A and B are shown apart, each in its own frame.
Chain A
């Protein structure tokens, strides 16, 4: 059983650019997650897979953002939601930041915490 994951450790590869421009939207399956947050760490129990994960602050923010969103989000929308100031203004992401966010979502997807919703 896989119990530990640190999406920060996800390595970049040549496919990241392609993934970061992928039109997929992402969501968190509604049922079966239990969360507990301590400081900047989040532990997550995924009842569907009977797996437990420890997420760092960045991955925790991404997961919480997707959880709170009523709809699936694209990477651009996710970045907007994560970075927006109170007035709703968000700075544009650099290529590196966009790649980092894509890698994080990719890793959360690999863990089964996040799922892509392909355009119909």
Chain B
């Protein structure tokens, strides 16, 4: 069953009761919440995601709700609880859905060490993954958002999961998070993008999520072979520019953007070194999403090893 098959009252009851067993790629979360913005956010953004049976194993159990006491209504706040425990400071009351997304990222990066996890957006075309590792604020999510509306399949806008045995990328298609001016940039680039409620004055500024494309969610079990590593950087006013990057530099960038490289030890070194060897490596600067999309369309058509 998919989330969209639940009526709004059914979805509300599940989230308010024992929880909704929501599958996102390889992980299942048991989500509980009585907050309307969380219920609405799940109904919109996770419409095509699978609901696992109540008795299915859940990797994570978390809730997003109001704290007890006066903060329920006085300058209201929201709390993310993991296994019933509070691990973060509360956020202002309308930030329940972003908090769920950030909380789920935290769960995956902190627990799923069966993968080597990179702070990187990743999209796929022709079976090959384009990995975009970068810290926050570099424009990777904006670039990823543009590419998924121009023929690339969304694997993740935030977390790249590398399967250690095969070196392949495991999809984790979820709502794509954009911040501040990027929200309007994408609306101008692709008017069909379905944004949920825009949340203002978060720690990251104005935050909006848009719904992943249904086809991308339905292909969430299709892994992809690594094809390209591209370090993106938004530079105001700059033309789209792709420059070859040495494999050594690309390797060190992967380490800097890895969440659990240390946990994997020497095997982590081998996994990332193998990943780099399988990829064409570039640095990329841009300001126009149209120019970027056109350039990556050529790369995708040529395939790894081809001239962009």
In contact, B247 and A52 (Cβ under 8 angstroms): no
Number of A-B contacts defined by CB within 8 Å = 46
In contact, B246 and A45 (Cβ under 8 angstroms): no
A47 to B264 CA separation, bound complex (whole angstroms):
11
A4 to B256 CA separation, bound complex (whole angstroms):
10
**Number of chain A residues close to chain B: CB under 8 A:** 16
The size bracket of the interface on B is 10 to 19
Q: Kindly state whether residue B115 has any CB partner on chain A within 8 Å.
A: no
A41 to B247 CA separation, bound complex (whole angstroms):
8
Provided the pairs A1-B262, A47-B265 are in contact, do residues A52 and B248 lie with their beta carbons within 8 angstroms?
no
- Chain A residues touching B, majority SS: strand
Chain B residues close to A by CB (< 8 Å): 246-249, 251-252, 255-256, 261-262, 265-266, 269-270, 273, 276-277
A1 to B261 CA separation, bound complex (whole angstroms):
12
- Chain B residues touching A, majority SS: helix
Question: Can you list 11 A-B contacts (CB < 8 A)?
Answer: A4-B252, A36-B251, A38-B276, A39-B246, A39-B248, A41-B246, A42-B248, A45-B266, A45-B269, A52-B261, A54-B249
In contact, A43 and B251 (Cβ under 8 angstroms): yes
Chain A residues close to B by CB (< 8 Å): 1, 3-4, 32, 34, 36, 38-39, 41-43, 45, 47, 50, 52, 54
A39 to B251 CA separation, bound complex (whole angstroms):
13
- Chain A contacts of B277 at CB under 8 A? 36, 38
- Chain A contacts of B251 at CB under 8 A? 36, 38, 43, 54
